[in-house]
Amino acid sequence: MNKQLTKIIFPAAGMGTRFLPATKATPKEMLTVVDKPMIQYGVEEALASGLDDIIMVTGRGKDAIENHFDISAELEANLHAAGKDELYQKVSHVARMASMAYIRQKEAKGLGHAVLCAASWVGDEAFGVSLADELMISEKPVMQQLREAHEKTGFSVVALAKVPDEDVSKYGIVKTDAEQDGLFRLRGMVEKPDIVDAPSNLALIGRYIFTPKLFDFLKESKAGVGGEIQLTDAMNELAKVEPVYGMVVDADRFDAGNPLGFLIANATLGLRDKKYGDLFREELKKLL
Ligand code: UTP
């Protein structure tokens, strides 16, 4: 019997160059959408999906992530003493939401390398991977949608979204068999293809569940474009030896890893926010 899926890796050691200078001293994953850093959305989604054993792969200058999920006794005492109960609850909740481990990726050698850094922590179990700068808002958490498909198939399942032609060159794009019971068996992946070379419009969007066999191929991977070890190269190899499935997930998705996507995420979630939504709408009307 396979072990229950509980482990999830958050690779958060990238350079965040598209956000410079904001990311010179602040990790991209700590940039705020409405009132929470992006990484907290990802962690909450993972926890709501039963993935509560979390490892963050961080790099230099990423201490803010560790501090965010740590207990700040002084802040909690101050909020408590000042009777700011709602804020106290929010702050203490973040610090106690999950068990977290941290590992350093000493050089930003790519997403595949970041995942490989967590190999010994994961061991011989299936595991999740979540990219926090892809924000997913949905009734059923996206990691839960993948978990259900993984439990049904016993194999790797990754989240897909249909993207318009003009966006194909921004994503890893998959080649698939015909859809069956909501799942596509993947037959290959290409990183950021030109539209003429793209095998489909189905893009990888930063949520994955993998069998531990992926690590065999990550270990063998040679650095490719820009000296980076690509996750998609190892996925391609994995798909040759066992099924790797993709599913188009049901979620509002925000590619918030670049300034425009980030602004759209803030505007959309700002307008939906219970506390600020109506006021924000009024203010926006004045600007438009
Ligand atoms: P991105 O390419 O979106 O992030 O990687 P980046 O490299 O930080 O950003 P740009 O392209 O320079 O603007 C996707 C995810 O993989 C992580 C990033 O932190 C992000 O969550 N990553 C990427 C690593 O952990 N290590 C790496 O070497 C590269």
Lowest mean pLDDT among 84-93, 131-140, 244-253, 275-284: 84-93
> Which tens digit of pLDDT belongs to each residue from 165-182?
999 999 999 999 999 999
| DSSP, res 226 | G
The model's confidence at residue 228, banded by pLDDT at 50, 70 and 90, is confident
pLDDT for position 225: 66
Pocket test for ligand 1, best of 133, 231, 262 (most atoms within 8 A of CB): 133
* Residue of minimum CA distance from atom 15 in ligand 1: 131
Lowest mean pLDDT among 6-20, 54-68, 157-171: 54-68
Q: Residue 226 pLDDT more than 60?
A: yes
Average pLDDT over residues 116-134: 96
Pocket test for ligand 1, best of 9, 17, 28 (most atoms within 8 A of CB): 28
Count of Cβ atoms closer than 10 Å to residue 182 Cβ: 11
Count of Cβ atoms closer than 10 Å to residue 220 Cβ: 10
Predicted TM-score of the model (pTM): 0.94
What is the residue type of 11?
Answer: P
At 17, list the tokens.
Answer: 């160059």
The model's confidence at residue 75, banded by pLDDT at 50, 70 and 90, is confident
> Which tens digit of pLDDT belongs to each residue from 184-205?
999 999 989 999 999 999 999 9
CB-based contact 248:176 (threshold 8 Å): no
Any ligand 1 atom below 6 A from CB of 15: yes
Computed over every residue of the chain, the mean pLDDT equals 93
Classify strands 244-248 and 156-162 as parallel, antiparallel or unpaired: parallel
Any ligand 1 atom below 6 A from CB of 108: yes
Express as a percent the part of the chain with pLDDT over 90.
77
Any ligand 1 atom below 6 A from CB of 114: yes
Q: CB pairs under 8 A, 24+ apart, for 21-25?
A: 25/61
Question: Is residue 92 packed enough to be buried (19+ CB in 10 Å), middle (13-18) or exposed (0-12)?
Answer: middle
Atom of ligand 1 nearest to the CA of 108: 28
| DSSP, res 108 | -
Domain 7-287: CATH architecture, name and number where available: Alpha-Beta Complex (3.90)
pLDDT for position 107: 87
At 91, phi and psi to the nearest 5? -70, -45
Residue with tokens 């909740």: 93
pLDDT for position 1: 42
Atom of ligand 1 nearest to the CA of 57: 25
At 38, list the tokens.
Answer: 């992006």
Any ligand 1 atom below 6 A from CB of 94: no
